[in-house]
Chain A
Amino acid sequence: QITLKESGPTLVKPTQTLTLTCTFSGFSLSTSGVGVGWIRQAPGKALEWLALIYWDDDKRYTPSLQSRLTITMDTSKNQVVLAMTNMDPVDTATYFCAHLTFAYRYYDFWGQGIRVTVSS
């Protein structure tokens, strides 16, 4: 049974760095064909893909935010961490992490999401 859960601060100030952790179980990021991605959703808006890390530590970022994002993994802890620098109120959103099946590039298991508000 695959589960994922996001954790981190729910309130950050503008210009600060947001660090979110996705803790998962039921699979290993050491296994070929697996990835963990981050997707966010601003209030009342559509899903927006942010970043992904593959089992081999290959990383992908959305072009518009690439300069602000860093994704890393700790296979021993079954965790994936997303850091986003220079936070702005427009980054207020619910942030989801999700398990990726490489063969068809789909996200088949999702965390419950964490609501992050950017405000001074």
Chain B
Amino acid sequence: QSALTQPASVSGSPGQSVTISCTGTRSLNLVSWYQQHPGKAPKLMIYDVTKRPSGVSNRFSGFQSGHTASLTISGLQAEDEADYYCCSFAPTGTSWLFGGGTKVTVL
């Protein structure tokens, strides 16, 4: 079982907002979020908790409070339907942890 816990699935209608949580058993560090469409490689969406790489829509935003980080997708679009993974640099500073993944469904 992953040390980072995410809900298995979330869903929303087009235009709505959804939020995915990522809870760690210890403090989260340098959290990043990845989007993965079926059969594709993951794509970086958020790094350092809140920062967006160039080219990523501002509909994606990140937040962290204590042991929980979250990814919010605003103005949900059909293309946002994918799996999303949080990732934290382990407190030991020697490894990375991925969450169990959340499937986002656009109704």
Contact = CB atoms under 8 A, between A and B. Distances in A.
B53 A108 contact: yes
B interface residue count range (under 10 / 10 to 19 / 20 to 34 / 35 or more): 20 to 34
Contact of A62 (B2, B47, B95, B99): B95
A113 B41 CA distance: 7
Interface of B: 2, 30, 32, 34, 36, 41-44, 47-48, 51, 53, 85, 87, 89, 94-101
A39 B34 CA distance: 13
Nearest to B4: A46
Contacts of A46: 2, 85, 98-101
Main DSSP-derived SS at the A contact region: strand
A48 interface: yes
B32 A96 contact: no
Contacts of A49: 87, 95-98
A11 interface: no
A61 B34 CA distance: 21
A52 B36 CA distance: 21
A112 interface: yes
